[in-house]
Amino acid sequence: MFGRRFELPANKSFSKSHKVNKSSSSFSKSNGISKSRHEPRQHRRPATATSSSHAPSDTILSPTSGLTPCIVTLVIGKDQRIFAAHEDVLCASPWFQQTLSAQYVEPQNGKRIHLPDEEPEIFSSVLEYLYKGDYYPRLVHNKRRNLWEIEQVDEDGRTSNESTVYHHVIDGDILKDTVIYCTADKYGLEELKRVALRKQGLQSGIQCSTILASARYAYANTPDTDSKLRAHYLALIIRSRSTFKRSGTMQLEMFNGGTQLFFDLFVALCNHVDDISSAQ
């Protein structure tokens, strides 16, 4: 059972853009969900706007930093998409380091890893992070306002921010940063988890149904000891409670149950009420 108290972050993990418009059943539509995730990456990715001094990372290896020539073939997803990466780069992950060190190498094929449960787009972002220290859309530091923002990509006069990704497990869209956080947790990439969580805190314009589906995914793919991503969702729902209490999706999700999420939410709400009562 849930035994610890969730403390709501004091505007550290969430942007003020999460405030709810009472006349809407969803979050602000001005930053709606992008549906261009299947666009070829070379047409949607601009030149980097980040500085290496602002991009913390795990053991990030530049492609020009004298990598060994050992290339690992990675077969990703049910469609068996083929990726290739330097073994040195992959071994920044304890999971890959252990897997590769224990693998028998076939001389004619080299090292090969099959990951049928991964989504190719998510794994592409993980590889991008391992090589560059960030993934698209990147974090940029606004020097004038002295805060971090998610990179905005202008195409044909429009602003694009791909906040969601299709995932075959739920057969629908969920928040991309949530999936990346869970994937980073699996592979032991702690800094990537921090980057994904920071980016998720900057998202806005997300439908209630997407948030609830993403929260379910987060609970199903993080250990009970996780106190960051789960707390992020609890605080988000509480802060936007005027929208969620009118949401038919929220009502249906609570009726169906099957997750620790709603008991944790009940405890967090009780703590929130206690804090208000104490302040008075």
Residue 16 has pLDDT above 60, yes or no: no
Q: How many CB atoms lie within 10 A of CB 51?
A: 9
DSSP 53: G
pLDDT tens-digit series, residues 200-209: 999 888 888 9
Chain centroid offset of residue 51 CA: 21
Tell me the average pLDDT across 128-150: 90
> Measured between alpha carbons, how far is 1 from 257 in angstroms, rounded to an integer?
15
Tell me which long-range contacts 147-150 makes (C-beta under 8 A, separation of at least 24). 148/198, 148/202, 149/202, 150/199, 150/202, 150/203
Which runs of consecutive H residues, i.e. helices, occur in 65-224?
87-90, 94-101, 120-132, 176-187, 190-201, 208-220
pLDDT tens-digit series, residues 178-196: 999 999 999 999 999 999 9
This prediction's pTM: 0.70
Tell me the average pLDDT across 242-270: 84
Which runs of consecutive H residues, i.e. helices, occur in 111-189?
120-132, 176-187
Confidence category of residue 97, pLDDT binned at 50, 70, 90: very high
Are 183 and 128 spatial neighbours (Cβ–Cβ below 8 Å)?
Answer: no
The pLDDT, as a whole number, for residue 211 is 93
Are 203 and 214 spatial neighbours (Cβ–Cβ below 8 Å)?
Answer: no
Place of tokens 């990179």: 151
Residue 40 has pLDDT above 80, yes or no: no
Burial class of residue 191 in the structure, from the number of CB atoms within 10 Å of its CB (0-12 exposed, 13-18 middle, 19+ buried): middle
pLDDT tens-digit series, residues 100-111: 988 776 666 778
- Lowest model confidence (mean pLDDT) among 26-30, 56-60, 160-164: 26-30
- Lowest model confidence (mean pLDDT) among 12-26, 135-149, 190-204: 12-26
The pLDDT, as a whole number, for residue 250 is 83
CA atoms within 13 A on the CB side of 278: 6
- Residue 15 in tokens: 């942007």
> Measured between alpha carbons, how far is 32 from 139 in angstroms, rounded to an integer?
19
For residue 253, give the H/E element and its range. helix 248-256
Average pLDDT, the chain: 77
Residue 31 has pLDDT above 80, yes or no: no
- Residue 108 in tokens: 């004619």
pLDDT tens-digit series, residues 56-83: 444 444 454 567 778 999 999 999 999 9
The pLDDT, as a whole number, for residue 147 is 87
CA atoms within 13 A on the CB side of 181: 28
- Cis amide leading into 63 (omega within 30): no
Are 43 and 177 spatial neighbours (Cβ–Cβ below 8 Å)?
Answer: no
The pLDDT, as a whole number, for residue 247 is 83
Residue, of 47 and 252, whose pLDDT is higher? 252
Residue 4 has pLDDT above 90, yes or no: no
Residue, of 196 and 140, whose pLDDT is higher? 196
